[in-house]
Chains A and B, each alone.
Chain A
């Protein structure tokens, strides 16, 4: 079984550029999560989707961040414009709704904003 797939695995960009991170959840999972991991703050939940609908986006840092889930098998996290403080590892995770605290994580995207 394929796990959660994320692309790209590494992204280096310059301040002010738009960055789009992509995620394919595990087939059949109807909950999807975006997390950010930094040394200072650890792992933080950015946004949670259920059945493609955003349920909790209280962790999205500011308007520069946006996330979409156009269908059950694809989600994007976009940062526009990017800033150096956005440098982090971004993880996507998915789960079944009935066990949505048992989350399966992708390998992450390491973002560096210069």
Chain B
């Protein structure tokens, strides 16, 4: 079984300040981990993915995430927030192997960026 907990339902930052969106996962095996972003009335877009290679993963639009097995965490960060980053972000876990199509989504973190 696998699960994802996004620790904050809503995060608010000022433009130009760092972003931290927290995610903890639970999995009985080494998982694949993803972050997706959903802008209002849009579909989900893949930001980045971890698949057991480098633990620090770089994604699009300046986002990155670090896989920490000891802490079962996969937090998303960005050094400087931009207004266009305002959206909802989903942390996602999937198993490796035959069942890896089964994505388990967190409940989402809504990011607000204050000008």
A residues neighboring B (CB under 8 Å): 3-4, 31, 33, 42-43, 45, 48, 55-56, 91, 93, 95, 100-108, 110
A104→B46 contact, CB < 8 A: yes
B94→A42 contact, CB < 8 A: no
State how many residues of chain B have any CB contact under 8 Å with chain A.
Answer: 20
Task: Say how far A48's CB is from chain B's closest CB, in angstroms.
Answer: 5
With contact pairs A91-B44, A102-B46 given, residues A48 and B107 touching in the complex (Cβ less than 8 Å): no
Bound CA–CA A107/B42 (angstroms): 5
With contact pairs A42-B107, A48-B101 given, residues A101 and B34 touching in the complex (Cβ less than 8 Å): yes
13 CB-based A-B contacts, threshold 8 Å: A45-B102, A45-B103, A56-B101, A101-B32, A101-B34, A101-B100, A101-B101, A102-B46, A102-B49, A103-B101, A104-B46, A105-B44, A105-B45
Segment 30-85 of B: residues with Cβ below 8 Å from A: 32, 34, 36, 41-46, 49
Q: Give 5 closest A-B pairs by Cβ, nearest first.
A: A105-B43, A101-B94, A105-B44, A43-B105, A101-B100
Closest to A10 in B: B41
Collect the chain A residues with CB atoms within 8 Å of residue B34's CB. 101-102
A4→B43 contact, CB < 8 A: yes
Collect the chain B residues with CB atoms within 8 Å of residue A100's CB. 100-101
Task: Say how far B61's CB is from chain A's closest CB, in angstroms.
Answer: 17
Collect the chain A residues with CB atoms within 8 Å of residue B100's CB. 100-101
Task: Say how far A86's CB is from chain B's closest CB, in angstroms.
Answer: 19
A107→B103 contact, CB < 8 A: no
